[in-house]
Amino acid sequence: MSDNVMRGKGFPTVSRRTFITGTGSILGLATLAGRATAAPAPAPIPPGAHVPALVIGTGYGGSVAALRLAQAGIDVHMLEMGMAWDTPGSDGKIFANTTAPDQRSYWLRTRTKQPLSNFLGFPIDKDIPRYTGILDAEEFGGIAVYQGRGVGGGSLVNGGMAVTPRRERFGAILPTVNADEMYNVYYPRANAGLGVTNVDQAWWNSVACYQYARVGRKHAERSGFSFVFVPNVYDWEYMKQEVAGTVPKSAVAGELLYGNNAGKKTLQKTYLAQAKATGRVAISALHRVTSVAPANGRYAIAVEQLDTTGTVVATKNVTADKVFFAAGSVGTSKLLTKLKATGVLPGLNNEIGKGWGDNGNVMCGRANHLWDPTGAVQASIPTAGIDNWDAGGAFAEVAPLPTGIETYASFYLSITRNPHRAQFSWNSAANRVELNWQTAWKQPSIDMAKSIFDKINAKEGTIYRTDLFGVYKIWGDHLTYHPLGGAVLGKATDNHGRLHGYSGLYVIDGALIPGNTSVNPFVTITALAERNIDRIIAADF
């Protein structure tokens, strides 16, 4: 790790920390975690700065935009409302374990809101200090939307499942996008940039930490379902060493939902590391964008700087020639909905805020027989799923339950073909953006998931777990991990993400995708961003 000095056009000189370049240096990154405190904190964007390109958010879309703009010689500043996640806590680790959430785990909450709220009849949430933690369980009327907060966005908290949708399904996902281009150029580019690889199946078949997935395969196949392996961004060589006991355990110790301290190739280690290595990309963490307004042929951006309690410690105004909205489906949609409704960006069209979907997410657990254990130690990185999309409209991820004890449970996150789409709107009295999703809209998803698990239960003589989402509640129908839409490609924007009504404003994240990808979404978000930024750099700069 080294410090370097950036003298980007239009920026004051700032010292900033670079990350190790490349995607394979996981051992090096484990070392980096231990040394992080020695490095000086990067200087945030100063008030009054002008930047050629400003990116709001540091998730998949924002990271692709920053890297490709920088490689084209354009200086970029990224504003991220969450923390940098580069400094260990008092336990010597940057991230908290899934089984022991603490203040680092949740975004400005005083009590955890774990996706599985109960276990064996007992609620498992607990009080924590309010802090700018890594996972936001953002609550709207009918749904809690889980999102990553910090430099790296959703890549900090997600399962790393890196799935390219089957090509024959692509027309239903992004109907206005040329599939040949995506499958020949942009999906391969995204997979390479993210460091996507496949698990070694011989090893997988032999290790205790994937017993739960092998039980999932056995049950799927005995009921005639197609069981498919799914690529991931986890460093499998590192996981092999975890199992062998030669390196600190991360996935095998259950780290995931609140961050992985080693092993997972988050955007910090891939796109953002490369972007920073260009010397043209700076990132201000704990900086939340509240407004983007036209100003003399440029854009004026209002920013709140937060401390780790969420208190606004400074407000800043900066300007940019071009602004990329990459705050995630919810973040981008909320900003645009508010800015249109309050007359700051009145020229945005009426598609803003529309076409939002939950990727059909629904969760459930099954109770296995005592002679069919799923293992006390479960690797937190999912590797496989049941593909029943063509027959029943569901792709069910065989998910871990990394509790550290034998649960005799099989756990699944299903992605289903749910037709419902919600809309964001501005509530001026309450001074907030609302989303009109209704919990009852999950019923088609439940029905599709049931078409798999009713059959498996009948075949195996097993039942659903009723203790994971409340008391006697089978379905986790209150949440999504996969928000998509709200500024849909070809509707709120042109076919490459340029917002209608304003030259130089772009959407480049999950908000572009109309509600469903038929599989886990981040590879599609990344590939679409690669496609759009290619065109934008060629035509607009």
Q: Judged by CB, which is closer to ligand FAE: 393, or 486?
A: 486
Identify the residue among 170, 437, 481, 506 touching ligand FAE (CB under 6 A): 481
Contact 509, 332 (CB under 8 A): yes
Nearest to 352 by CA among 376, 335, 377: 335
On the 0-12 / 13-18 / 19+ scale of CB atoms within 10 A, 440 is exposed
Q: Is 488 in the site for ligand FAE (CB under 6 A)?
A: no
In the complex, least distance from residue 347 CB atom to ligand FAE, rounded to whole angstroms: 21
Q: Judged by CB, which is closer to ligand FAE: 74, or 283?
A: 283
Residue tagged 């569901």 (tokens): 394
Select from 6-14, 22-30, 36-44, 322-330 the region that touches ligand FAE (CB under 6 A). 322-330
- List phi, psi (to 5°) of 122: -110, 140
Q: Judged by CB, which is closer to ligand FAE: 223, or 305?
A: 305
Q: Judged by CB, which is closer to ligand FAE: 156, or 456?
A: 156
The SS3 of residue 409 is strand
Identify the residue among 216, 402, 510, 514 touching ligand FAE (CB under 6 A): 510
E strand spans, 346-393: 362-367, 384-388
In the complex, least distance from residue 331 CB atom to ligand FAE, rounded to whole angstroms: 3
HSE-up (13 A, CA, CB side) for residue 437: 35
Pairwise CA distance, residues 173 & 156, whole Å = 25
Identify the residue among 82, 133, 193, 263 touching ligand FAE (CB under 6 A): 82
Contact 200, 420 (CB under 8 A): no
Query: Does the annotation mark 397 as catalytic?
Result: yes
Restricted to residues 108-167, the positions that interact with ligand FAE (CB under 6 A) are 146-150, 153-154, 157-161
Within 10 A of 541 (CB to CB), how many other CB atoms are there?
Answer: 13
Phi-psi region of 169 (alpha: psi -120 to 50; beta: other; left: phi over 0): alpha
Identify the residue among 235, 509, 530, 534 touching ligand FAE (CB under 6 A): 509
Residue tagged 């999703």 (tokens): 437
In the complex, least distance from residue 374 CB atom to ligand FAE, rounded to whole angstroms: 19
Q: Is 223 in the site for ligand FAE (CB under 6 A)?
A: no
Q: Is 533 in the site for ligand FAE (CB under 6 A)?
A: no
Strand partners, 312: 306
Tokens representing 353 are 């805020």
Contact 107, 134 (CB under 8 A): yes
Q: Judged by CB, which is closer to ligand FAE: 135, or 207?
A: 135
Query: Among 255, 482, 496, 530, which one carries the catalytic annotation?
Result: 482
Q: Judged by CB, which is closer to ligand FAE: 223, or 418?
A: 418
Compute the 3-state secondary structure of the chain and give helix, strand, coil in percent, each to the nearest 5. Answer: 30, 25, 45
Q: Judged by CB, which is closer to ligand FAE: 345, or 455?
A: 345
Pairwise CA distance, residues 477 & 297, whole Å = 46
Identify the residue among 98, 118, 388, 520 touching ligand FAE (CB under 6 A): 520
Query: Does the annotation mark 482 as catalytic?
Result: yes
Interface pattern 364-403 for ligand FAE (x via CB under 6 A): ----------------------------------------
Contact 186, 527 (CB under 8 A): yes
Tokens representing 40 are 């000086």
Tokens representing 89 are 């806590």
Residue tagged 């017993």 (tokens): 211
Identify the residue among 259, 328, 357, 485 touching ligand FAE (CB under 6 A): 328
Q: Is 255 in the site for ligand FAE (CB under 6 A)?
A: no
Q: Judged by CB, which is closer to ligand FAE: 335, or 492?
A: 335
Contact 526, 64 (CB under 8 A): yes
In the complex, least distance from residue 458 CB atom to ligand FAE, rounded to whole angstroms: 29
In the complex, least distance from residue 462 CB atom to ligand FAE, rounded to whole angstroms: 26
In the complex, least distance from residue 372 CB atom to ligand FAE, rounded to whole angstroms: 26
In the complex, least distance from residue 492 CB atom to ligand FAE, rounded to whole angstroms: 15
Pairwise CA distance, residues 345 & 257, whole Å = 36
Tokens representing 65 are 């935009």
Nearest to 116 by CA among 492, 400, 379, 424: 400
Interface pattern 36-75 for ligand FAE (x via CB under 6 A): --------------------xxxxxx--------------
Interface pattern 273-292 for ligand FAE (x via CB under 6 A): ---------------xx---
Q: Is 482 in the site for ligand FAE (CB under 6 A)?
A: yes
Strand partners, 303: 289, 316
Contact 100, 306 (CB under 8 A): no
Q: Judged by CB, which is closer to ligand FAE: 143, or 161?
A: 161
Select from 1-9, 117-125, 400-408, 521-529 the region that touches ligand FAE (CB under 6 A). 521-529
**Total binding residues for ligand FAE by CB under 6 A?**
39
Tokens representing 324 are 């990329």
How open is the CA angle 5-6-11, to the nearest 5 degrees? 135
Q: Judged by CB, which is closer to ligand FAE: 462, or 508?
A: 508
Query: Among 138, 397, 460, 530, which one carries the catalytic annotation?
Result: 397
Q: Say if strands 143-148 and 432-435 run parallel, antiparallel, or are unpaired.
A: unpaired
Pairwise CA distance, residues 408 & 40, whole Å = 47
Identify the residue among 270, 329, 337, 493 touching ligand FAE (CB under 6 A): 329
In the complex, least distance from residue 31 CB atom to ligand FAE, rounded to whole angstroms: 25
Q: Is 187 in the site for ligand FAE (CB under 6 A)?
A: no
Q: Is 414 in the site for ligand FAE (CB under 6 A)?
A: no
Binding site for ligand FAE (CB under 6 A): 56-61, 79-82, 146-150, 153-154, 157-161, 257, 288-289, 326-329, 331, 335, 481-482, 509-510, 520-522, 525
Positions marked active-site = 397, 482
